[in-house]
A and B are shown apart, each in its own frame.
Chain A
Amino acid sequence: MSRPRTWPAHVVLAGGALVMIAPFAWQVVVSLQTLPESLSVPPKFTPSWQWSNFPEIFRTVPLGRQFLNTVVVTAAVTAGQLLLCSLAAFAFARLRFPGRGAVFMLFLAVLMVPGELFLIPRYEIMVGLGWLNTLQALIAPGVFGAFGTFLLRQFFLTLPRELDEAAQLEGANPLQIYWHIMLPLVRPGLLALGMLTVMWSWSSLLWPLVVNTDPEMMTLSAGLASLRGQFQTNFPMLFAGSVVATLPVIVLFVIMQKQLIAGIAFTGSKG
């Protein structure tokens, strides 16, 4: 069989890829322009290397602080998700206890409910705790997730039964089996869930917008959204902030893309 021609596919894919990345390229270009350049007609498609936009945006808004907030929240949420979801997923997949099926169905039901239904009561819980404008308000609801439990359960289910039986005979308790035997084997699942959680947590907007209104306690996502009103026409500054906010996830994604995509394809086809 002769090797099929692939160049027509390349032409269409490359054209599409250009549309995919053009907004990012444009964002970087404008972040390095002066204000008048950014508003010129016709648009100016080249940067004039105004690096000062970057220190300037850090001076005018607490961008450094918001960056730190985002890192702390994302790290805490991801660590929490990985630990709690894997514990519960292990129990659902490998241990037998009465009510297991019913409780798991309840978890799945939670998965299907749109997030808006949680928002007002969660906000009132935070008010009650006196947690408005704190990082724990952003972290606490984020560490619990029915989706992560479901995803990891699928991974735990694929492991052979003999593994736990052998360990049990050796006298290991379930926690030891979970930690020493099972967890290393579901590493691909943990990586996929970790990456998805980082992405979601890093970009989430609605909840941070609602609970933390003090600019010092905002995440980058909410911080950028609030710049929208403040700097309605100062696009170079706005985009300097956007570049700072997007770059870390893009770098992480480029490094980890294989795991992330495998995780998504896995949940998709098995979902």
Chain B
Amino acid sequence: MLSKREWAWGYLLIAPMALGLAVFYLWPILQTLYLSFTESGVFGGYTWVGTANYAGLLGDEDMAGALGNTLLYAVLVLAGVPLSIVVAALLNVPGLRGLSVYRTLYFLPVVTMPAAVGLTWRYLFNGDFGAINHLLGLVGIDGPYWMGDPDVAIYAIAIVGVWSSIGYNAVLFLAGLQGIPRHYYEAASIDGAGRLRQFFRITLPLLTPTTFFVVVITMINALQVFDLVYLMIDTTSPALRGSRTIVYLFFEKAFVHNQRGLAAAIAVLLLGLILVLTAIQFRLQKKWVHYE
């Protein structure tokens, strides 16, 4: 029953949200695109400079460094995804008690403030009095100055990145696991397949749609990492060179150095990077994702 009144109600009810999204989302996207072709003056105002910002970024050392650091971080965090699968598979063991307790504990890092978490990890990673190097020392390993070494800092940040996302991903994987019909396993048991064989032959293939979703989301989030770098690395630390990510560089340019046009160009390039890498993921999914 399509009535004129239903039309009016429809528009009325989406109006507040649509208006807000237009002002705080759509307009900013267009404005950022425009700004990326301008240069901000000292006293405000913008001058059109064409593609100069993009051209400048092409040969910029900081930009190249940030791109490399961001990609390395994303790869490291993605390498942590199998850990979530292991956690989810263990949580899915039939007859396991204490599921909700484990779920709560693993999920704790997800719900807590990155500001508090980042500062705590930074303390744990301290080269002199940090607990991590102390523990490494107990097994005879001489730990590095994690937060002061440009070659090491990004690994420390990625460890925290993995730690804080395991619980979230495990919840998604657990939902995926619980969607796998039991009778597959029963049939495999009758055929004499062991637990491990069942895991690789049944669980992993049937979990690939969830895995694909988790990998795409994890990658998109990792490419936008800012909080942990900002909190764990001092602005004066030599390690910043090895851990400054794209969003960190964007933040510096936009709100520390007041180079808004340049910062806008960085944001647009990040959008491009995310779109390209996500498109590649969708292309590759045909090769490894099994839909029932």
- A interface residues with partner B (beta carbon < 8 Å): 3-4, 6, 9-10, 12-13, 16-17, 19-21, 23-24, 26-27, 30, 38-43, 45, 84-85, 87-88, 90-92, 95-98, 100, 103, 106-107, 110, 113-125, 140-141, 143-144, 146, 149, 168, 173-175, 178, 199, 202-203, 205-206, 210, 220-222, 224-225, 228-229, 232, 235, 238-239, 242-243, 245-246, 249-250, 253-254, 257-258, 260-261, 264-266, 268-269, 271
In Å, the complex CA distance between A40 and B130 comes to 9
> Which residues of chain B in 84-103 are interfacial with respect to chain A, using CB atoms and an 8 Å cutoff?
86-87, 90-91, 93-98, 100, 102-103
CA distance A146 to B111 in the complex (A): 21
Query: Do the beta carbons of B16 and A121 come within 8 Å of each other?
Result: no
Closest to B273 in A: A114
| Other A-B pairs, 15, CB within 8 Å; known A4-B93, A203-B113 | A45-B131, A84-B16, A88-B18, A117-B32, A117-B271, A118-B24, A118-B29, A121-B31, A121-B35, A124-B31, A144-B24, A174-B10, A206-B227, A222-B115, A224-B113
> Does B224 lie within 8 Å of A117, measured CB to CB?
no
Given the known interface contacts A250-B112, A257-B107, the answer about A88 and B7 at a Cβ–Cβ threshold of 8 Å is no
Bitwise interface map of B from 25 to 41 toward A, beta carbon under 8 Å scored 1, else 0 = 11111011001000000
Give the distance to chain A from B117, nearest Cβ to Cβ, in Å: 7
- Chain B residues within an 8 Å CB radius of A254: 104
List of B residues within 8 angstroms of A225 by Cβ: 115, 230-231
Closest to A19 in B: B163
Contact status A95-B108, CB under 8 Å: no
| Contact of A144 with B106 at beta-carbon distance under 8 Å, contacts A30-B123, A203-B115 already known | no
Taking a contact as CB atoms under 8 Å apart, the answer to whether A17 and B172 are in contact is no
- A88 CA to B174 CA, complexed, in Å: 31
Q: Which residue of B lies closest to A196 (CB)?
A: B111
Binds A, one of B60-68, B197-205, B261-269: B261-269
Q: Which 4 A-B pairs have the closest CB atoms?
A: A97-B10, A144-B20, A265-B175, A121-B28
A120 partner, pick from B13, B98, B263, beta carbons under 8 A:
B263
Tell me which of A121, A220, A232, A268 contacts B172 (CB under 8 A). Answer: A268
Q: State whether the Cβ of B284 lies closer than 8 Å to any Cβ in chain A.
A: no
Q: Nearest-CB distance from B165 to chain A (Å)?
A: 12
> Would A122 and B28 count as touching, CB distance under 8 A?
yes
| Partner among B9, B109, B115, B210 whose Cβ is within 8 Å of the Cβ of A95 | B9
| Smallest CB gap from A110: residue in B | B25
Pairwise interchain contact B124-A26, C-beta atoms closer than 8 A? yes
Q: Which residues of B contact A140 (CB under 8 A)?
A: 24
Q: Are A84 and B20 in contact (CB under 8 A)?
A: yes
Q: Which residues of A contact B32 (CB under 8 A)?
A: 117-118, 120-121
- For this complex, into which size category does the number of interface residues on chain B fall? 35 or more
Q: Are A203 and B112 in touch, CB under 8 angstroms?
A: yes
The answer to whether A261 touches B171, judged by C-beta atoms less than 8 angstroms apart, is yes
Tell me whether A20 and B270 are in contact (CB under 8 A).
no
Task: Say whether, besides A115-B224, A225-B115, A245-B115, A264 and B95 are in contact (CB < 8 Å).
Answer: no
Could you jot down 27 A-B contacts, CB within 8 Å? A6-B96, A12-B86, A17-B106, A26-B124, A40-B129, A43-B131, A95-B9, A116-B224, A117-B268, A118-B24, A118-B32, A120-B254, A122-B28, A174-B9, A205-B114, A220-B115, A221-B113, A224-B113, A225-B115, A229-B235, A242-B115, A243-B116, A245-B116, A249-B111, A253-B107, A257-B107, A265-B171
Instruction: Using known A-B contacts A116-B250, A254-B104, A269-B176, determine if residue A88 contacts B95 with beta carbons closer than 8 Å.
Output: no
CA distance A45 to B113 in the complex (A): 23
Q: How far is the CA of A124 from the CA of B23 in the complex (A)?
A: 12
A contact residues around B91 at 8 Å (CB): 13
Given A88-B14, A90-B13, answer yes or no on A250-B250 (Cβ-Cβ < 8 Å). Answer: no
- Of A19, A116, A249, the most chain B CB neighbours within 10 A belong to A116
Nearest-CB distance from B103 to chain A (Å)? 6
What B residues does A119 contact at CB under 8 A?
Answer: 28, 250, 254, 267
Known A6-B93, A257-B107, A265-B171: A224·B18 in contact at CB below 8 Å: no
Q: Is the CB of A110 within 8 A of B26?
A: yes
Q: State how many angstroms separate the Cβ of A184 from the closest Cβ of chain B.
A: 17
**Assuming A13-B90, A119-B254, A220-B115, is B103 touching A20 (CB within 8 A)?**
no
- Hey, which chain A residues are within 8 Å of B73, CB to CB? none
In the assembled complex, which residues on chain A have CB atoms less than 8 Å from the CB atom of B20? 84, 143-144
A97 to chain B: which residues have CB within 8 Å? 6-7, 9-11
Residues of A within 8 A of B17 (CB): 84-85, 87-88, 144, 149
Given A4-B93, A257-B104, are A268 and B213 neighbors across the interface (CB < 8 Å)?
Answer: yes
- Taken together as a complex, chains A and B put the C-alpha atoms of A225 and B1 apart, in Å, by 55
Query: Given A87-B16, A221-B115, A249-B113, are A120 and B260 neighbors across the interface (CB < 8 Å)?
Result: yes
> In the complex where A87-B14, A113-B29 touch, is A107 in contact with B6 (Cβ < 8 A)?
no
